[in-house]
Structure 1
Amino acid sequence: MADYLASDEEKEVLEKYLLQFLNLEKRYPLLPGIENEEAIAGLMGLEHSELKKLRDRFSSNAKQAAIELLEDPEVAEWIEELPFEDGDTIVALGDSITDDLQSWFHIFEHVLEIGLEGSEYTFINSGVSYNSSTEALKRLNRDVLDHEPDWVIVALGTFDAQRLHVAPDRPMVSLADYWENLNTIEANVSEVTDNPLIWMTPPPVITEMLQQIRLFNFNLFEEDLSSIREILTGKKGYIIDPLGERMHDEDQEEHEGEENGGPAPWNYLSDGLHPSLSGHTNTVKELVRFLALAKDPEEGAQLETPDDFDTGEDED
């Protein structure tokens, strides 16, 4: 039993926001007792049963989202065309958008396990909340390379683009350093697998919502995130959602000559930064679509954009 129990107000904050990103086991892997879930519960002021119940709820959300996604006949067809082989180890290197207990990676895991019955894959979520590419690079050996992955999905860039309140004139990580960090990640991953990397672009952020959250000491702007995506589209491998449109409303009808309506608020949590369950589901659909429809590349070659991908440019 925890010596200190969180108040009802503190438990509400944990349940509604913090807990799904508070994976202390990954942030402090060398802390004594960190693998003991009962000890983790004590650090949060929860009973072990309470922590397990809350974590199980997020896991159930991800599984249910996968089940609903597989009801889409296109998704069911696409997963049969994925480039993975039975027994592959798939690692995701990312930030809190990946680390989320109901993140796109967990939904993706359930999609493959349910949709490809009989296939066996090993999924390793190496996302750590609020990581920039620099911080992720520091743990590349332990969290990625040591697992000898067959496939690596890199989902970094959101927190490279953050502009701190104390230094608003520049992003946290310069574009030059971001580029070098990706090159180093790519070079090291290529030593353990011949498969091309899968690059996940950062989704847009609704800055107005983010600025209402006093928890954060930074801002994020689409201009900076767009520059990150431009760098990613120049990489070799699978480029998932190069224009960062997966958070838009799929049912929104655009009239000729009108600009895209932008990301839909319901695809985000209240901070306008982290995807909601529907936002994560959109990400999985784009991931599966791009992997299935991309043309077969030569090893290490740049993959071509799928034939059905709408660039948004007007035809002559």
Structure 2
Amino acid sequence: MINTSGYGDDERRHFLRYTRTQRWPMLGRFPVAAPLHTELLAGMLSCPAGVVEDLIASLDDELRATAAQLLGDETYRRALRALPYRPGERVVAVGDSITADRLGWFELLRASLELDGGDGPTLVNLSVSGDTTADVIERFDLLQAAEPSRVLLLLGTNDARAHGRAGGYRMATTAETGRNLRALRHLITRDLGAEVTTITPTAVDQARVDASFADVPVHWSAAAVAEIAAAVRDADPGAIDLHEVTRTAAPGNLQDDGVHPTVAGQRFILTFLLDRLAAPARHGSGRGAVAPSA
């Protein structure tokens, strides 16, 4: 059991950055009023509800400030406005903590589109921290309920996650990840009639992972994440290869845990993905996207 009674506001803010109880499958299927989510988070963090509200507001403020900074760059604005998303479309992100992040790439994209003004698509983030590809299949009903016209899949980091101090059992083998991604792509295109873009998981820093997780029975191997990224590319040869570009990214793009991107890292991810999403023809025919079958 995790003891949260000794958390300071910095630790609480970090927890809230990656935790949105509204997206938890049970609470997605049986939704409760927003104040109850705040009370739940406050109970988990052993603090008043007002502290939770203030910390979430500070994250929202930072998100909008970061998006405004990005919009100050002309190249970024051009790429943003070149996205092939039409007004009325519903673009849904499905991923783990890297996408669930309140300061993450998809939230920055949403905030950028809002600040840029004009009619645009509706962006829906269904990402849940800790999710594997199998978890997403299990909650496919919630993806269906979101009625997406386009789906962005960025999964795999937690498939490579290993548990146990001695055994180190992975959450999924590379074969299982490949099977799950092929199933998800089939379900999205055939059952939902939506377009899907697959993205490989970000690389991890082995030295930082080893130092950060030395005393806990959970671990990531850079080699295992690379294997999962290869499985993603095998399941979708047109996948956007985020793993390769983050493998040699600046050290400041990763937090001390060696797994989660910093805000600078999330900005890097977004600018890279924007370039691929806005002009896929420059990076190979049909790269990263599959239209629904007739």
- Is 2:162 the partner of 1:163? yes
Match of 1:278 among 258, 264, 270: 264
Distance, in Å, in 2 between the alignment partners of 1:213 and 1:198 is 32
Distance 1:126-1:167 versus aligned 2 partners, 3 A rule: farther
Q: Matched residues in 2 for 1:80 and 1:281: separation? A: 17
Q: Quickly say closer, same or farther: Cα 1:38–1:82, change in 2 above 3 A.
A: closer
1:245 alignment partner, SS class: helix
Q: Verify the 8 A CA contact 2:168 2:219 in the aligned structure 1.
A: no
Offset, 1:47: 1.6
Instruction: Mark the structure with the bigger radius of gyration.
Output: 1
Residue of structure 1 equivalent to 2:87: 86
Give the superposition deviation at 1:221.
Answer: 2.1
Q: Which amino acid aligns with 1:10?
A: Y
The 8 Å contact of residues 42 and 49 in structure 2, kept in 1 or not, is answered as yes
Alignment correspondent of 2:61: 60
SS for the counterpart of 1:86 is coil
For 2:154 and 2:20, the matched residues in 1 are separated by 18
Q: Distance in 1 between matches of 2:74 and 2:238?
A: 23
Q: 1:20-169 counterparts in 2 under 5 A?
A: 20-27=17-24, 28-29=26-27, 33=32, 35=34, 36-43=36-43, 44-115=45-116, 117-142=117-142, 144-166=143-165, 168=167
Structure 1: which amino acid aligns with 2:104?
A: S
Secondary structure of the structure 1 residue equivalent to 2:92: strand
Amino acid at match of 1:26: R
CA distance in structure 2 between the aligned counterparts of 1:217 and 1:90, rounded to whole angstroms: 36
CA distance in 2, matches of 1:193, 1:296: 28
C-alpha contact (below 8 Å) 1:108/1:284 kept by paired residues? yes
Q: Which amino acid aligns with 1:15?
A: R
Aligned residue in 2 for 1:303: 286
Is contact 1:132–1:159 with CA below 8 Å preserved after alignment?
yes
SS for the counterpart of 2:123 is strand
Deviation at 1:12, TM superposition (A): 3.7
Q: TM-score, normalised by structure 1?
A: 0.79
Matches within 5 A, 1:131-280: 131-142=131-142, 144-166=143-165, 168=167, 171-191=170-190, 194-214=193-213, 216-236=216-236, 239-246=239-246, 262-280=248-266
The one-letter code of the counterpart of 1:191 is R
Residue 177 of structure 2 contacts residue 232 of structure 2 at CA under 8 Å; is this kept in 1?
A: no
Q: Given that residues 92 and 124 in structure 1 are in contact (C-alpha distance below 8 angstroms), is that contact kept between their aligned partners in structure 2?
A: yes
TM superposition shift of 1:15: 2.8
CA distance in 2, matches of 1:119, 1:90: 14
Could you report, residue by residue, the CA deviation over 1:79-107 in whole angstroms, capped at 9, with x for unpaired residues? 22211111111111111111122111100
Partner of 2:15: 18
Q: CA deviation at 1:198?
A: 1.4
Instruction: Provide the secondary structure at the position in 1 that maps to 2:198.
Output: strand
- Percent identical among aligned pairs is 21
Higher helix share: 2
One-letter code of the match for 1:181? N
**CA separation of 1:15/1:242 partners in 2, compared to 1, >3 Å: closer, same or farther?**
closer
Gaps of at least 5 residues in structure 2 are: 289-294
TM-score, length basis structure 2: 0.84
| Secondary structure of the corresponding residue to residue 244 of structure 1 | helix
Cα 1:32/1:216, change in 2 over 3 Å: farther
Instruction: Write the letter of the residue equivalent to 2:286.
Output: L
Contact 1:94–1:131 (CA under 8 A) maintained in structure 2: yes
User: What's the offset of the Cα at 1:53?
Assistant: 1.0
Taking a change above 3 Å as real, the CA distance of residues 133 and 81 of structure 1, as seen in their structure-2 partners, is: same
Q: How many residues align?
A: 280
What SS does structure 2 have at the residue aligned with 1:279? helix
Counterpart contact for 2:148–2:194, Cα < 8 Å: no
Structure 1: gaps (5+ residues)? 1-5, 249-261, 306-316
Aligned residues: CA RMSD: 2.7
Give the letter aligned to residue 224 of structure 1: A
Report the secondary structure of 2:94's partner residue.
Answer: strand
